[in-house]
Amino acid sequence: AWAEWPFSQWRAGFRNAEAFWREAARVPGVGEHHTAMVNFFARQYLDMLNPANGLFTNPVVLKQTAASAGANLVKGLGNWVADATGVPTAEDLAMRDQFKVGVDVAVTPGKVVYRNHLVELIRYAPQTATVQPEPVFIVPSWIMKYYILDLSPHNSMARYLVDQGHTVYMLSWRNPDERDRDLTMDDYLEMGVLEALRAARHDAGAAELHAMGYCLGGTLLAIAVAALSRAGGVAGYPDLPAPKTLTLLAAQVDFSEPGELGLFIDEGQVTLLDHITKGQGYLTGKQMAGSFQFLHSRDLVWTRQMREYLMGEREQPNDLMAWNADTTRLPARMHHEYLVALYLKNAFAYGRYRVGGQPVSLSDLRMPVFLVGTERDHVSPWRSVYKLHLLSDVEITFVLCSGGHNAGIISEPGHHNRRYRIATRPERGEWHSADEWLQQARQVEGSWWPAWESWLTRHSGAPVKARPIPASHALGNAPGQYVMQRYAE
């Protein structure tokens, strides 16, 4: 339909405007940061003016309107009124309860075996007669509910691992409120990672652990593991060794090129965010979600509104969308510290980030690393994730998978149209740039999960008999209490 006149002319004009602004944004003498900002905001403005957003400039909408005698517009008006007033339609109510935590998602059997003020530690029940002797300890990002890694049974990473004979420990972060305004990055490191890591090791009978972190959870885990790997370890944790292996999923350790998210993180923006969070004591989930909508406005705002308000098609939810709507908060002080230390100062990459009063360095890592980036990641661009190769000489197996920050990671076996590239740089191996790696890496069709599971198995000992979770260790059933915390924003 877009090939017909006059729509073809509008489409061509829009694409020409996009090309013009890509060129116009590059002005001699203007710094790279401000050039990127001009380009980004020009694209936001153009996305708003896209002819696909209009009733009379979108041929698909016009044909649907003629075919349905305007029924799509009536339905779309009802959708708009529901969104504007906050009063859901009958269809909205029917869809709202499709994915309940502990009923439809986050249903892998397990027990909470440790709890402190900040985290719960879930141990999943074994599903095989024998298991690998080294459990997998997982740290999700604190800006998300953990069950993105335990969605529906068919696409749950936690379920996949236990079905393959791994014992899995999962962190579940508490959803902070105004009383937690003074929690710090050190609190998140100690209470969130180190204490839980020690509790998992104790529960596993002092076994070695495989450690995995996702997004900012991976960044925090990398800081903790680097600190544990240095001479002397971490003060207060003399009995806690570094894990046997380290896996980082879409996790940056060098923030010099953080992608489009970095456009909004400078000293002025941090000051503004401090002012916003000072009174309430936290950054709300709604405020954080708005940032990601801004980054993906074409898909998350304009295309969605066109479909729902002009085509009359309510977006059908899935488990990943339901998880995405289950927002979390960030304590004000911790939020400020991580923006300044990681984004503004890039302290971790430069060896200036301090744990227990001493700087930590990724050069202290001694274990093999499995590193995953995703092709369309706007939060942790894969070339930024790849920079770990510059900061550590350990063996690194790097995987670049199709999809974005979330959908690329949740890529279970059998998922259609999935592929990945994989290559391993040996310990102290030759350096290759990200683009060189891309040319040399082997491409594989399908999910990257089996490749990771095989890697874990190769770095594990001989299987041992599975142990049930002792009743004396259980504080309650999975998914626990903290994941259920929700607040009206």
Query: What is the rounded distance in angstroms from the CA atom of residue 473 to the CA atom of residue 42?
Result: 56
What crossing angle do the helices spanning 71-85 and 59-68 adopt, rounded to 10°? Answer: 110
Q: What is the 3-state secondary structure (H, E, C) of the chain?
A: CCCCCCHHHHHHHHHHHHHHHHHHCCCCCCCHHHHHHHHHHHHHHHHHCCHHHCCCCCHHHHHHHHHHCCHHHHHHHHHHHHHHHCCCCHHHHHHHCCCCECCCECCCCEEEEEECCCEEEEEECCCCCEECCCCEEEECCCCCCHHHHCCCHHHCHHHHHHHCCCCEEEEEECCCCHHHCCCCHHHHHHHHHHHHHHHHHHHCCCCCCEEEEECHHHHHHHHHHHHHHCCCCCCCCCCCCCCCEEEEECCCCCCCCCHHHHHHCCHHHHHHHHHHHHHHCEECHHHHHHHHHHHCHHHHHHHHHHHHHHCCCCCCCCHHHHHHHCCCCEEHHHHHHHHHHHHHCCCCCCCCCEECCEECCHHHCCCCEEEEEECCCCCCCHHHHCCHHHHCCCCEEEEEECCCCCCCCCCCCCCCCCEEEEEEECCCCCCCCHHHHHHHCEEEECCCHHHHHHHHHHCCCCCEECCCCCHHHCCEECCCCHHHCCCCC
Q: What is the residue whose two structure tokens read 């902070």?
A: 176
Residue 278: what pLDDT? 79
238: CB partners within 8 A, 6+ apart: none
What crossing angle do the helices spanning 32-48 and 7-24 adopt, rounded to 10°? Answer: 170
Residue 280: what pLDDT? 85
Least Cα distance to 73 among 297, 307, 287, 258 occurs for 307
Residue 257: what pLDDT? 87
Query: What is the rounded distance in angstroms from the CA atom of residue 283 to the CA atom of residue 164?
Result: 38
Q: Which two three-digit tokens encode residue 55? A: 């009733």
Residue 488: what pLDDT? 61
Give just the sign of the alpha carbon dihedral 390, 393, 399, 405: negative
Residue 92: what pLDDT? 78
Residue 489: what pLDDT? 59
401 is catalytic: no
Q: Which residues pair with 136 in a beta bridge?
A: 168, 210
Query: What is the rounded distance in angstroms from the CA atom of residue 133 to the CA atom of residue 164?
Result: 13
Cα 297 from chain centroid (whole Å): 18
Strands 369-374 and 245-249, sheet pairing: parallel
Q: Which two three-digit tokens encode residue 173? A: 């972060």
Query: What is the rounded distance in angstroms from the CA atom of residue 302 to the CA atom of residue 168?
Result: 40
Residue 387: what pLDDT? 97
Q: Which two three-digit tokens encode residue 412? A: 């279970």
Is the pTM for the entire model greater than 0.85? yes
Task: pLDDT tens for the chain, 489 residues: list them.
Answer: 999 999 999 999 999 999 998 888 888 888 887 888 888 888 889 999 999 999 999 999 999 999 999 999 999 999 999 989 988 887 777 777 788 999 999 999 999 999 999 999 999 999 999 999 999 999 999 988 999 999 999 999 999 999 999 999 999 999 999 999 999 999 999 999 999 999 999 999 888 999 999 999 999 999 999 999 998 899 999 989 999 999 999 999 999 988 777 777 888 888 888 888 878 888 887 777 777 777 777 887 889 899 999 999 988 888 988 888 888 899 999 999 999 999 999 999 999 999 999 999 999 999 999 999 999 998 899 999 999 999 999 999 999 999 999 999 999 999 888 999 999 999 999 999 999 999 999 999 999 999 999 999 999 999 999 999 988 889 999 999 999 988 665
Residue 24: what pLDDT? 86
| Annotated active-site residue in 101, 215, 234, 334 | 215
